[in-house]
Chain A
Amino acid sequence: MRNLGPVDDIPLGEGRTYAVGDDMIAVFHLRTGEVRAVSAVCPHKGGPLADGQIDNRVVVCPLHLYAWDLATGCSQSGQPAIDVYPVRVDDGQLILGV
Chain B
Amino acid sequence: MTQRLVVIGNGMAGARTVEEILARSKNRKENRNEVGGEGRIPDGNEVGGEGRNPNRNEVRGEGREPGEGRSAEREARRSGEGGGDGGFVVTMFGDEPYGNYNRIMLSNLLAGVEDEAGIFLNDLGWYADNGITLHSGTRIERIDRTAKLVYAADGTATPYDKLIIATGSSSWTPPIKNINNPKRGYHQGVFAFRTLDDTRGMIRYARDHERAVVIGGGLLGLEAARGLQNHVSEVTLLHAMGHLMNVQLDERAGTMLKDSVESRLGIKVVLNAMTTEILGKDRVTGVKLADGTVIDADVIVVAAGIRPNTRVAADSGLTVERGIVVDDQMRAIGEDDIYVVGECAQHRGEMYGLVAPLWEQAKVLADHITGSDPDAAYRGSKLHTKLKVAGIDVAAMGLKEPETDDDEVIVYSEPKKGLYKQIIIRDGALVGATLVGDNSKAAGLIQAFDRGEPLPDVRAELLFDLGGAKAEVTPGEMPDDAQVCNCNGVSKGAICGVVDGGCRTVSGVMDRTRAGKGCGTCKPLVQRIVEWAAGGEAEEDPAASWYVPGVPMPKPELMAVIRRYELKSVSSVFDKLVPGGEHDAKSKMGLASLLKMMWADEYVDERDARFINDRVHANIQRDGTFSVVPQMKGGVTTPDQLRRIADVADKYGVPMVKLTGGQRIDLLGVPKEQLPAMWADLDMPSGYAYAKSFRTVKTCVGSDYCRFGVGDSTALGIALEERYQGLEGPGKMKLAVTGCPRNCAEAYVKDLGVVAIDGGRWEIYVGGAAGAHIRKGDLLTTVGTADEVIRLTGRFLQYYRENANWLERTYTFVPRVGIDRIREIVVDDSDGIAQALDAAVEEAVQAYQDPWKERAVPATPGQFRTSLPLTVLPQVPVRA
List A residues at the B interface (Cβ < 8 Å).
8-19, 22, 24, 26, 31, 40-41, 45-60, 62-67, 76-78
Contact = CB atoms under 8 A, between A and B. Distances in A.
Contacts of A64: 488, 514
A48 B514 contact: no
Interface in B547-571: 550, 571
Nearest to A50: B867
A11 B620 CA distance: 20
Interface in B586-628: 586, 588-589, 606-609, 611-612, 615, 620, 622-624
A55 B860 contact: no
A26 B132 CA distance: 81
A54 B607 CA distance: 12
Interface stretch (B296-304, B387-395, B577-585, B777-785): B577-585
Contact of B608 (A54, A65, A78): A54
Given A17-B869, A63-B620, A10 B517 contact: no
Given A14-B607, A31-B571, A56-B583, A62 B868 contact: no
Given A16-B867, A40-B867, A55-B584, 18 more contacts: A10-B862, A11-B860, A13-B607, A13-B608, A19-B870, A31-B571, A31-B583, A41-B868, A45-B622, A46-B871, A50-B867, A53-B588, A53-B608, A55-B588, A60-B585, A62-B611, A64-B488, A77-B513
Contacts of B511: 76-77
A94 B871 CA distance: 23
A31 B612 contact: no
Contacts of A18: 869
B518 to A, nearest CB: 9
Given A16-B867, A45-B622, A51 B612 contact: yes
B771 interface: no
A49 B585 CA distance: 13
Contacts of A40: 867-868
B861 A10 contact: yes
11 contacts: A11-B608, A13-B606, A17-B865, A22-B870, A26-B867, A31-B608, A40-B867, A46-B871, A48-B867, A53-B585, A56-B583
B861 A48 contact: no
B213 to A, nearest CB: 72
Contact of B517 (A55, A62, A65): A65
A53 B606 CA distance: 12
A51 B671 CA distance: 13
Contacts of A16: 862, 865, 867
Contacts of A67: 585-586
B866 interface: yes
B821 interface: no
B516 to A, nearest CB: 12
A10 B514 CA distance: 30
B126 to A, nearest CB: 55
The 3 closest A-B pairs by CB, nearest first: A13-B608, A48-B867, A55-B583
A49 B609 CA distance: 15
Contacts of B264: none
B585 A59 contact: yes
B339 to A, nearest CB: 54
Contacts of B608: 11-14, 31, 53-54
A97 to B, nearest CB: 21
Interface residues of B, number: 36
B512 interface: yes
B609 A55 contact: no
A65 B589 CA distance: 12
A64 B623 CA distance: 12
Contacts of B860: 11, 14
A26 to B, nearest CB: 7
A22 B513 CA distance: 32
Nearest to B497: A78
Contacts of A53: 585-586, 588-589, 608-609, 611-612
Given A9-B861, A48-B624, A55-B582, A65 B514 contact: yes
Nearest to B510: A77
Nearest to A48: B867
Nearest to A13: B608
A1 to B, nearest CB: 21
Contacts, number: 105
Contacts of A22: 870
B854 to A, nearest CB: 14
A62 B612 contact: yes
A54 B585 contact: yes
Contacts of B624: 46-48, 51
A64 to B, nearest CB: 7
Contacts of B609: 13, 53
B869 to A, nearest CB: 5
Contacts of A11: 607-608, 860-862
Interface in B850-877: 860-862, 865-871
B512 A78 contact: yes
A14 to B, nearest CB: 5
Interface string B611-652: 110010000101110000000000000000000000000000
B570 to A, nearest CB: 9
B232 to A, nearest CB: 71
Interface in B497-525: 511-514, 517
Contacts of B586: 53, 60, 65, 67
A19 B550 CA distance: 33
A91 B463 CA distance: 72
B605 to A, nearest CB: 12
B404 to A, nearest CB: 47
Contacts of B869: 17-19, 24
Contacts of B862: 9-11, 16
Contacts of A60: 585-586
A45 B620 CA distance: 13
A14 B612 CA distance: 10
Contacts of B512: 76-78
A16 B606 CA distance: 16
Contacts of A56: 582-583
A16 B672 CA distance: 13
Contact of B868 (A17, A57, A78): A17
A46 B583 contact: no
A19 B871 CA distance: 11
Nearest to B626: A51
Contacts of A59: 585
A32 B12 CA distance: 78
Contacts of B871: 46
B513 A78 contact: yes
B265 to A, nearest CB: 61
B514 A66 contact: yes
Contact of B870 (A24, A47, A65, A66): A24
B868 A24 contact: yes
B493 to A, nearest CB: 13
Contacts of B615: 14
Contacts of A78: 512-513
A17 to B, nearest CB: 4
Nearest to A79: B514
A58 B585 contact: yes
Contacts of B611: 53, 62
A40 B869 CA distance: 10
B868 A48 contact: yes
A26 B586 CA distance: 19
Nearest to B867: A48
A17 B612 CA distance: 14
A52 B867 CA distance: 10
A67 B488 CA distance: 15
Contacts of A47: 624
Nearest to A59: B585
A45 B589 CA distance: 22
Contacts of B584: 55
A45 B871 CA distance: 13
Contacts of A58: 585
**Which of B606, B609, B623, B867 has the largest number of chain A CB atoms within 10 A?**
B867
Contacts of A46: 623-624, 871
